[in-house]
Amino acid sequence: MAEMTLAKALNASLRRSLAHDDRVLIMGEDIGTLGGVFRVTDGLKKEFGGDRVMDMPLAESGILGMAVGLAFKGFRPVVEIQFDGFIYPAFDQIVTQVAKLHYRTRGNVRMPITIRVPFGGGIGAVEHHSESPEAYFAHTAGLRVVTCSTPQDAHTMLQQAIRCDDPVLFFEPKRRYWTKGEVDEDAIDRDDVLPMGSARVVVPGSDVTLVTYGPLVATAIDAAAAAAAESGGGDADAVSIEVIDLRSLAPVDVDTVVASVAKTGRLVIAHEAQRTGGIGADLAAELTDRCFYHLEAAPQRVTGFDIPYPASRHEEHFLPDLDRILDAVDRTMGRRPALYAGAVL
């Protein structure tokens, strides 16, 4: 086991993938000589050469379209999109080609393309550098969408994504790149490793299920700790929160969430992305369907607002934080009025 940052874990994961399979290619803007703007690809070009770790001309549609052609030829391209807000020029290639070619060719052509996207806010960046576009891709059949929250998951899941024969959008929580953690670099080869499509119970609890992913997992863990410690008026005030890291956004491991909600009877979902049409909306609908008779309160969502990601001096208000999450927890507990109490005529 080694302690490393999430960014370093990704770097180590890419190095292993390149060594593991010589059909793996790394492609992106500034990823070669520079090592990527977040240094996730640092040193890889030097080690594996410019034919395996390729700096790309500055055109996202071009990069993804080239990856499609390479996949046709039997390669496994790993593409870095420099920032979340720059994925849109490649949207057509991803949604129309990468996602659908396996289906359109009746399984004859595989698109084992991994698309790495640093995503989310909280680093005080200028516009187009803090977006959470995951729902666009989760909505698209043919794509898998995953995100990691720890160095260990970063290391393991990225290798799983690259080995997967389907295209995977791999969202990296950029404000957690510098988070450190223990990494077992051989975890991928072990039988008990969690498959890429599964959610993980991070903190066990009994009163409320709190589901989140990516950058907010750390916030959720803090919220659970704070809620457990809230015993000013004795144990009765403490709330036991079960935190679930979704890890996979398409498909969602609904069973793990269902099992938790069947136990707690309460559900709070948190994500940075805008609320409308988000992962939380979908999960709330699914859980309402499957856990209707277990639910003690309406599922609550804590999300970014339906505004473009705001200027950095606003982001602390835009991003769900510990207090907003605990506020939602309190509402499911009946300690605060429901948001729409009395709204039904």
Interface residues toward another protein, by CB under 8 A: 25, 51, 56-57, 59, 61-62, 64-75, 89, 92-93, 96-97, 101-110, 112, 141-142, 144, 164-166, 197, 250-253
- If the CB atoms of residues 197 and 310 are measured against another protein, the closer one turns out to be 197
Query: Among this protein's residues, is 129 annotated catalytic?
Result: yes
The β-bridge relationship of strands 76-80 and 267-274 is: unpaired
What's the closest the beta carbon of residue 93 comes to another protein, in angstroms?
A: 7
Tokens for 120, please give them.
Answer: 């989310």
What's the closest the beta carbon of residue 25 comes to another protein, in angstroms?
A: 8
- If the CB atoms of residues 71 and 223 are measured against another protein, the closer one turns out to be 71
- If the CB atoms of residues 165 and 323 are measured against another protein, the closer one turns out to be 165
Asked if 144 contacts 169 with a C-beta cutoff of 8 angstroms, the reply is yes
What's the closest the beta carbon of residue 181 comes to another protein, in angstroms?
A: 28
- If the CB atoms of residues 106 and 190 are measured against another protein, the closer one turns out to be 106
- If the CB atoms of residues 112 and 173 are measured against another protein, the closer one turns out to be 112
Active-site choice (129, 155, 294, 317): 129
What's the closest the beta carbon of residue 12 comes to another protein, in angstroms?
A: 24
What's the closest the beta carbon of residue 159 comes to another protein, in angstroms?
A: 15
Active site residues: 129
